[in-house]
Amino acid sequence: MKDFGVGAKRVLVVEDEPSISQVCQRTLTGEGFEVDIAADGASARDMLGGKEYDLCLIDIRTPVMNGQQLYQWISEKHPKLLKRLIFTTGDSVGSDTKSFLEQVGRPFLPKPFTLDELKTVVSETLRQIER
């Protein structure tokens, strides 16, 4: 996954659990990505306003502004990013979360996920974008 042409791909990880965000950061950095971390959707919104990202890994349940609210904001302010979103959730069976994931049609990783699952969903998402 490390050969992406000119410059490293930039990933924003939106995750309020430090252990998960650190694992994502180490794994993706090891794969050649530049990785920024936002602890909640509001911080992510601010970061998206100041920097371009190739991919966003968004936890659906974060404080201040959750993943669904961040998705709505992105759809209004940065619609080109919509195909570059991957969601994570510890609640893939809750009716609200399940309905949201079906509606947006984006890939998601149920928690806990393995490093291989993370690498696979990131590489598959990037391949679809670059077609």
CATH number of the domain to which 80 belongs: 3.40.50.2300
Q: Is residue 1 part of a domain?
A: no
Read off the pLDDT band of 95 (50, 70, 90): confident
Structural domain harbouring 48 = 10-129
Q: 40 near 33, Cβ under 8 Å?
A: no
Q: Is residue 5 part of a domain?
A: no
Read off the pLDDT band of 81 (50, 70, 90): very high
Q: What single-letter DSSP state applies at residue 111?
A: S
Share of the chain above pLDDT 70, in %: 94
pLDDT for the residue 4? 44
The position carrying tokens 């893939």 is 92
Q: Is residue 3 part of a domain?
A: no
How many domains does the structure of the chain reveal? 1
SS3 of residue 118 by DSSP: helix
Q: Is residue 23 part of a domain?
A: yes
pTM metric for this prediction: 0.92
